[in-house]
Amino acid sequence: MHLALFLIFAIFCLGGAINLLLQTHPINSALSLIVVMSSLAVLYLLLGAEFLAIAQIIVYAGAVMVLFTFVVMLLNVGEEEKTHGSKIAKAVGFPAVAVILGVIATIILQAQKQLGHVSLSDGITTTQELSRVLFHDLLLPFELTSVLILVAILGAVALARKEGHS
């Protein structure tokens, strides 16, 4: 059952990522990115990382994508021009991607042979321990990230504002 769910949501994730690249309108790309983020959350659930799955939905598929959608709508991005790309990029790009994927697969297979059987340790981190680290030990970087996101949104609003308006 886990393998079937993994394959289904991995296909959703890859399909959403490909659709994200092929869309011409930014809002449709944002919706495809939500599909990718939601599929990743299900994959996290299958791995037993419930906290990460919920954080993926709340933070990425929820807050960040809503902010991204508002910024795209605020900037009033028009229809993009379709280009067919260069022939050299297509001739070199596809074989290069195949070679890179082959190298990554070879590295993973070699590492798997060297590591042998991998199992979970006895001390599985609980959500309580994870929240203590996030909100106690790493509180400053956590809050600085939220301030950085706020500054980025304010910068987008300032850039999008028309010069004639005050």
Residue 76 lies in a domain: yes
Does one domain contain both 10 and 67? Answer: yes
**What's the Cα-to-Cα distance from 33 to each of 22, 76, 84, 100, rounded to whole Å?**
12, 19, 23, 24
The answer on 93 and 66 residing in a single domain is: no
Q: Tell me, yes or no, whether 120 lies in a domain.
A: no
CA distances to 1, 87, 88, 94, 134 from 83, in Å = 43, 11, 14, 18, 45
**pLDDT of the chain, 166 residues: tens digit per residue:** 778 888 899 999 999 899 888 888 777 888 888 889 889 999 988 888 888 888 888 888 777 777 777 777 776 655 656 666 667 767 777 788 888 888 878 877 776 676 655 555 545 567 787 778 778 888 888 788 888 888 887 887 787 776 555 5
Whether residue 121 lies inside any domain: the answer is: no
Residue 48 placed within a domain: yes
The kind and range of the H/E element at 27 are helix 26-47
Question: What is the pTM for the complete model shown?
Answer: 0.53
Its domain, for residue 145, covers 126-166
> How far is Cα 29 from Cα 62, in angstroms, rounded to an integer?
15
8 Å CB contact between 130 and 51: yes
- Give the domain CATH number at 5: 1.20.120.1200
Question: Is residue 41 one of the residues assigned to a domain?
Answer: yes
Residue 82 three-state SS: coil
Position 55 in a domain: yes
| 91 found inside a domain | yes
DSSP assignment of 106-143, as one string?
HHHHHHHHHH------S-PPPHHHHHHIIIIITHHHHH
pLDDT at 14: 93
| Nearest-5° Cα angle at 37, 64 to 53 | 95
Please tell me the number of Cα atoms within 13 Å of 96 on its side-chain side: 6
In this structure, are 28 and 70 located in the same domain?
yes
Instruction: State residue 121's pLDDT score.
Output: 53
Number of domains in the chain: 3
Query: Has residue 44 been placed in a domain?
Result: yes
